[in-house]
Amino acid sequence: MAKLYFYYASMNAGKSSTLLQTAFNYGEQGMRVSLWTAAIDNRPGFGAISSRIGLASDAHRFGPDTDIEGRVVEDHGQDAVSCVLVDEAQFLTRDQAWQMARLADAHNIPVLCYGLRTDFQGQLFEGAAALLGIADALVELKAICHCGRKATMNVRIDAAGQPVREGAQTEIGGNERYVAMCRRHFSEAMRGPI
pTM: 0.89
Q: Is residue 114 part of a domain?
A: yes
In a domain, 191, yes or no: no
Supply the residues annotated as catalytic: 88
Percent helix, percent strand, percent coil in the chain, to nearest 5:
30, 25, 45
Asked if the structure places residue 181 within a domain, the reply is no
With respect to residue 98, please indicate whether it lies within any of the assigned structural domains. Answer: yes
The domain in which residue 93 lies consists of 4-142
Indicate the average pLDDT of the chain.
89
CATH number at 70 reads: 3.40.50.300
> Domains in the chain: how many in total?
1
Is residue 184, in this structure, part of any structural domain at all?
A: no
- pLDDT digit string, tens, across residues 49-92: 777 777 777 889 999 999 999 999 998 777 899 999 999 999 99
Whether residue 163 is contained in a domain is answered as: no
Q: Is residue 168 part of a domain?
A: no
Res. 193: pLDDT tops 80:
no
* pLDDT bucket at 194, cuts 50 / 70 / 90: very low
Alpha helices in the chain (DSSP H): 15-28, 68-78, 94-105, 126-134, 183-191
The reply to whether 156 falls in a domain is no
pLDDT, position 79 = 82
